[in-house]
Amino acid sequence: MRIAVVGLGKIGLPLAVQYATKGHDVVGVDVSPAVVKDVNAAREPFPGEEHLADLLGDVVPPGRLRATTDYADAIPGVDTIVVAVPLFVDDESRPDYAIMDSAAGSIGFHLTAGTLVSFETTLPVGTTRTRLAPLLENGSGLVAGRDFHVVFSPERVLTGRVFQDLRRYPKIVGGLEPEGARRAVEFYETVLDFDERPDLARPNGVWDLGTAEASELTKLAETTYRDVNIGLANQFAKFAEKSGIDIYEVIEASNSQPFSHIHQPGVAVGGHCIPVYPRLYLANDPDATIVRSAREANADMPKHAVNLLEAAYGDLAGARVVVLGAAYRGGVKETAFSGVFPLVSELESRGAVATVHDPLYSDEELNAMGLTAQPLGVQVDAVILHTDHGEYRELAASQVPGAKVFVDGRNSAAVVQVAPVQVTLGRPVPDALDGR
């Protein structure tokens, strides 16, 4: 097959590589000349994706994968187009379709009859049918469902382990009409491999949900569930702290029977997915009070972590506080919606001098994000652990000299005592803090 992948980011590029490894001719489209240059040189444009560098070396030199910035070069005559460009939310939590609309318009202008178009970017329910398909029709003069076919098939992978997740999870598809869905099932069965999953009610593989809307809701539901679950865990954690209870023991005990699946609490919920997709759901269902409350509860956690610090330390005015970790998730170089930003803002609002360390980022990169970089080993007054990087699990007192209070926001602190007072979110407040 001839396949075009629009958007060569942390999802789109591994997808393009996956298709090329199955022997198909793949062209990737991206607005960034630097990304295109890297791909055509078989270099990974971003670090951290397992197997990506090696696989680029396998598929680019023989010509199975190439990249371009030119839609006119990539789109005409292909069999399938997979769209993986970002969809953001604005400051009011409303979907910002600018990039998606631009991509759909450009695809439509060069679209040829007989093509299957699959959107993989997470979307509010109804977007594929009522917004994107008409954009393709307007640009091409063709009719969806007759001259070409449109489906929604959400990506269900985590950056850093995309190739593993492509095999692990069923591929969900939903079309605007049955023929498009049939072609999508055939396409994905050809380009993907699936692990055996005896735990599933039906065989692992490509699952047709019947409509694009059902497929859109599936992605929003599975991600919104995680946000709501984490919000519940965070509320349990706050109560446990006040009640002298260890929430982690409670969660382990609760989850020992098959009807409870409580997630872990934490200082922040970040990334492109969990903080964003509930807002896309709310765009369809603004009266979903549970979803809205969970989002608010999770967004409040950085402030709660600073409250814990202030209760242990006292007045934070002038206090030198280092936040450990800028990335939203351990081992991943990504700061999308990271809790580091509200943490630093909250600390500064109370007069603290907030600095940030992250082993994955250079000082220049941290400073460019508006953060103040600080290496380990510099004198500090207090520490908040934000990111569960493996490097922090063996943190030594010599790396945060002078720290009086250590607040662990991820239940992953060092075994060794690094400060006179150590507070873990969701665990009983130490006796040393009584009466503060």
pLDDT tens, the chain, 436 aa long: 999 999 999 999 999 999 999 999 999 999 999 999 999 999 999 988 999 999 999 999 999 999 999 999 999 999 999 999 999 887 667 889 999 999 999 999 999 999 999 999 999 999 999 999 999 999 999 999 999 999 999 999 998 999 999 999 999 999 999 999 999 999 999 999 999 999 999 999 999 999 999 999 999 999 999 999 999 999 999 999 999 999 999 999 999 999 999 999 999 999 989 999 999 999 999 999 999 999 999 999 999 999 999 999 999 999 999 999 999 999 989 999 999 999 999 999 999 999 999 999 999 999 999 999 999 999 999 999 999 999 998 899 999 999 999 999 999 865 568 999 999 999 998 765 444 4
Domain(s) of CATH 3.40.50.720: residues in the chain: 2-210, 211-436
pLDDT attached to residue 156: 96
pLDDT attached to residue 432: 52
Dihedral angle of Cα 295, 298, 302, 304, to the nearest 10 degrees: 120
Q: Which amino acid is at 394?
A: E
Closest CA to 127 of 335, 280, 273: 280
**Residues 6 or more apart from 434 whose CB is under 8 A from it?**
none
Closest CA to 9 of 1, 410, 249, 17: 17
Give me the phi and psi of 106, to 5 degrees please: -65, -40
pLDDT attached to residue 434: 46
d(CA 276, CA 295): 9
pLDDT attached to residue 278: 94
Q: Return the SS3 of 32.
A: coil
pLDDT attached to residue 416: 64
pLDDT attached to residue 91: 65
Q: Please state the CATH superfamily assignment of the domain spanning residues 2-210 in this structure.
A: NAD(P)-binding Rossmann-like Domain (3.40.50.720)
What is the value of pTM for the model shown?
A: 0.91
| Assigned CATH topology for domain 211-436 | Rossmann fold (3.40.50)
pLDDT attached to residue 430: 77
d(CA 2, CA 7): 16
pLDDT attached to residue 47: 85
